[in-house]
Copies of this chain bind each other. A is one copy, B any other.
Amino acid sequence: MTPPRSNEKRPLAALLVPDLLELLEESPESVGPQTEEMHPADLADVAEAMPEEMVRAFLFALPKERAAEVLEYLDEELRTQFLEELTAGEAALIVAEMTPDERADALDELDEETADDILSELGAEAQAETERLLEYDPYTAGGLMTTEFVSVGESLTVEEALRSVRTMARAGRREAMYTIYTTDMNGRLRGVLSLRELLAAPEGARMSELAWSDVVSVVPNTLQEEVSQVTSNYDLVALPVVDAEGRLLGVVTVDDVIDVIQEEQTEDVQKMGGMEALEEPYMQIGLWQNVRKRAGWLSVLALSEMLTASAMAHYEGEIAKAALLAQFIPLVMSSGGNSGSQATSLIIRAMALGEVRVRDWYKVVMRELPAGIILGMILGTLAVTRILIWHGLGLYDYGPHFGLIAATIGLTLIGIVTFGSLTGSMLPFILKRLGFDPASASAPFVATLVDVTGISIYFSVAYLVLSDSLLK
């Protein structure tokens, strides 16, 4: 087995598994050297592709530090299972090598007793650091940050700072070291500069002159959504986290921010689909979680939709007189729902990106009102044309009042599409104002809201237009 070479198409993890299993059997001591050049993310893929009972032997055949790196990329469930199978001592040897933030995340997923056992086997410093990190809410800057950052006193010269950075780098800190922070005598964050800027700096200059004093930072309880917005707005590779006194506590690195962005987006998409967000990837959840996360909203929506039955019971006389009006119920309702779904998706996304704020609701109304009327007129024209063609060609006989029936459907569509666009665009504002996640304004939610009202719009228009003819 040769490790993959640069610039070659990366091998599919599964293809490596047979070779690795053979090597594990024959000479486990050469697994480490043989896989030395592979990226830990690829080794994690390999571990995920091998039979579960071999994962342990594989990870133990690697040097501890490598095993820890692989664990950082391993599927959460498999990682938890692996750590729980080990004795606390064995587990501690490996997690000790993880970066502080990944270590805290890994322990956070274990049951509390196991986590405590492993913690107590860690060295005093690592233990205290991990416990401190575990106290933060995992969905905040504190829960995301690592404590392995590089800071130097602002009074140092460039040469002193560079020497200090090299010492820290050699001490084996593994986390990113792309940015250097300067602090005052009390540990308060004062400035920032990139490692490149440090290397480019003229000799003899002081750090306090070189560093940028306008440092973007957050506090530990800043929500992860804001962490990702700030990082993305300022193109940062690392975002410092400071306490109330401005002391540097840790750093959120960009790779964790990307994970947050993906996670938040998954949640939004699932909520927009009309369900609760899943806690794990779709292929890993059981039938029970799959049903549970969906049944709630489905039931609420179905119960609300039953109001349409009540609304229609109200119009039973009209339906009995003109059964053909029922034919257009699906068209009318779905057009309202679809235009609402478009509007709500636009606004939810614009809100997630910070393009639209709650105070902009009126501007949105002034955009959706004309858009809804025009869209309604387009759909209305289509429907009227369809009815006239069908009637004209004799495909269906709408009776002597076919013109009025066409007018009813056309006018209803204008009304309902305008109503759908307005409702769909305002719902995220209302939810946000009430303290809910605007992404809960799912397409099904909006469609249901519009359906119930839509039936009334439809039969009111029908009553107005047809009361002297079909509905007399």
Contacts and interface: CB of A to CB of B under 8 A. Distances in A.
A344 to B, nearest CB: 7
A78 interface: no
Given A7-B242, A379-B298, A37 B196 contact: no
A334 B269 contact: no
Contacts of A95: none
Interface size class of A (residues with CB under 8 A): 35 or more
A48 interface: no
A442 B200 CA distance: 51
A214 B326 CA distance: 66
A42 to B, nearest CB: 8
Contacts of A237: 176, 178, 237, 254-255
A180 B369 CA distance: 54
B212 A37 contact: yes
A291 B41 contact: no
From A291, A313, A330, residue with most partner B Cβ within 10 Å? A330
A7 B215 contact: yes
A2 to B, nearest CB: 11
From A242, A337, A345, A371, residue with most partner B Cβ within 10 Å? A345
How many copies the complex holds: the figure is 2
A149 B349 CA distance: 34
Interface string A436-448: 0000001110011
From A215, A259, A269, A447, residue with most partner B Cβ within 10 Å? A269
Contact of A302 (B6, B266, B274, B331): B331
Contacts of A302: 331, 334-335, 338, 379, 382-383, 413
A177 B196 contact: yes
A330 B349 contact: no
Nearest to A339: B298
A396 interface: yes
Nearest to A181: B6
Contact of A39 (B234, B261, B291): B234
B330 A308 contact: yes
Contacts of A349: 265-266, 269-270, 282
16 contacts: A4-B214, A37-B213, A38-B214, A42-B214, A176-B196, A232-B262, A257-B258, A266-B349, A291-B378, A294-B375, A306-B331, A316-B324, A329-B329, A334-B448, A338-B447, A443-B444
Given A302-B413, A333-B333, 4 more contacts: A39-B216, A258-B258, A291-B374, A309-B328
| A-B complex: 10 closest residue pairs judged by Cβ atoms | A273-B345, A443-B443, A169-B200, A235-B255, A308-B330, A7-B246, A338-B444, A177-B196, A6-B215, A282-B350
